[in-house]
Amino acid sequence: MASESQNWVLVVTARTPTNIAVIKYWGKRDEKLILPVNDSISVTLDPDHLCTTTTVAVSPSFDQDRMWLNGKEISLSGGRFQSCLREIRSRASDVEDKEKGIKISKEDWEKLHVHIASYNNFPTAAGLASSAAGFACFVFSLAKLMNVNEDQSKLSAIARQGSGSACRSLFGGFVKWIMGKDKNGSDSLAVQLADEEHWDDLVILVAVVSSRQKETSSTSGMRESVETSLLLQHRAKEVVPKRILQMEEAIKNRDFASFAQLTCADSNQFHAVCLDTSPPIFYMNDTSHKIISIVEKWNRSEGTPQVAYTFDAGPNAVLIARNRKVAALLLQRLLFYFPPNSDSDLNSYIHGDKSILQDAG
């Protein structure tokens, strides 16, 4: 290290949005490398709403790697954090900050320690993909700090080793996680199908039914499904490969009817797999079911889908409206069925601002 003093600190801050799968990932064929049993497709949310912000710092005065999540120190000893740190460190390059007189060589990175502070601006471990935004931001911010020269897809394969869904958060817009064939996972990575502008009529509303931490983490839930659900085997082999092709086509053509039909069907099948698991896993609750009924009835009465719903491993609804006008009507309906400050479970709508109500006409 060129710098004589031990007092310097080099800092990088990054922000990464979460993503919500419209064709779900549920099941691993390799637990350690996090290799999935099927491809998946997601939409990355607007970074202004649900996101993780992570600051990483390096200094010769740090004597160990440490991390704080939402203000509380957590252990970095877990295999997932260690895999990501190892993969990033091994790709580090020289870094020079002339103003501060800091010069870090490739070799120095093996000896230097990092401190990491991360905040999620939405509920953690509640089924809103905090692990996706969290690990994508972890990898991205460390890669920036350590001057890693890899493209986003290569970084996505590293983020995948933190949490599978994280690989898709390195891109905006519509993203596909290709399951890959290699035993070492080198071809299991994310690619962008279409950018943020491709289908900007869509409006996404997240209805937070409960911000409580779920009882069964995604990791253990899908492990139990792989071990016990025959429906999961059928889904991975027979159903998802066809749906992936149909979903890619729907996105390319901005075909909302097909998009909505596939999104809702896939969410429902994923929750059916959870029910087919032994012992069964219940991620949705009565409020989630009520939201499904409201949307299904509305779509049927219109003759063509207006809104798609999807639920990850938790009770919270992600609702995708075909345009702003429909989003405004949707919000009106949700406010009617779940009045604010009543004893209804639905306490907030955190993605999509209420000014869209003006569009209801």
Q: Which residues bind ligand DP6 (CB under 6 A)?
A: 21, 24-26, 34, 40, 129, 131, 163-165, 218-219, 312-313
**Residue 210: strand, helix, or coil:** coil
The secondary structure element, H or E, covering residue 279 is none
Assess 129 for contact with ligand ADP (CB under 6 A).
yes
User: What whole-number distance in Å separates Cα of residue 346 and Cα of residue 334?
Assistant: 9
Stretch that binds ligand ADP, among 4-12, 29-37, 119-127, 328-336 (CB under 6 A): 119-127
Assess 52 for contact with ligand ADP (CB under 6 A).
yes
CB 148 within 8 A of CB 88: yes
**How would you class 272 by CB atoms within 10 Å of its CB: exposed for 0-12, middle for 13-18, buried for 19 or more?**
middle
Assess 131 for contact with Co ion (CB under 5 A).
yes
Which residue minimizes CB distance to ligand ADP?
134
CB of 105 to ligand DP6, least distance (A): 34
Task: List phi, psi (to 5°) of 105.
Answer: -90, 165
Among ligand ADP, Co ion, ligand DP6, none, what binds residue 109 when CB lies within 5 to 8 Å by partner kind?
none
Assess 125 for contact with ligand ADP (CB under 6 A).
yes
Assess 69 for contact with ligand ADP (CB under 6 A).
yes
CB of 325 to ligand ADP, least distance (A): 31
Within 216-235, which residues bind Co ion (CB under 5 A)? 218
CB of 305 to ligand DP6, least distance (A): 21
Assess 118 for contact with ligand ADP (CB under 6 A).
yes
Within 166-185, which residues bind ligand ADP (CB under 6 A)? none
Nearer to ligand ADP, 174 or 283 (CB): 283
Assess 120 for contact with ligand ADP (CB under 6 A).
yes
Question: Can you list the positions of beta strands (E) in the chain?
Answer: 10-17, 19-23, 28-30, 35-36, 40-44, 51-59, 66-69, 72-74, 95-97, 102-104, 113-120, 174-178, 189-194, 203-208, 307-311, 317-321, 348-351
Assess 127 for contact with ligand ADP (CB under 6 A).
yes
Assess 288 for contact with ligand ADP (CB under 6 A).
no
**Half-sphere exposure at residue 74, Cβ-oriented, CA atoms within 13 angstroms:** 11
CB of 36 to Co ion, least distance (A): 13
**Half-sphere exposure at residue 108, Cβ-oriented, CA atoms within 13 angstroms:** 17
Which residue minimizes CB distance to Co ion?
131
Angle at 35 between CA 205 and CA 136, to 5 degrees: 45
Cα 28 to chain center, whole Å? 16
Give the per-residue SS3 of 81-142. HHHHHHHHHCCCCCEEECCCCEEECCCHHHHCEEEEEEEECCCCCCCCCHHHHHHHHHHHHH
Assess 121 for contact with ligand ADP (CB under 6 A).
no
User: What whole-number distance in Å separates Cα of residue 116 and Cα of residue 76?
Assistant: 10
Among Co ion, ligand ADP, ligand DP6, none, what binds residue 52 when CB lies within 5 to 8 Å by partner kind?
ligand ADP
Question: Can you list the positions of beta strands (E) in 227-312?
Answer: 307-311
CB of 77 to ligand DP6, least distance (A): 17
Binding positions for ligand ADP, rule: CB under 6 A: 52, 69, 118, 120, 124-132, 134-135, 138, 163, 217-218, 312-314
Binding positions for Co ion, rule: CB under 5 A: 131, 218
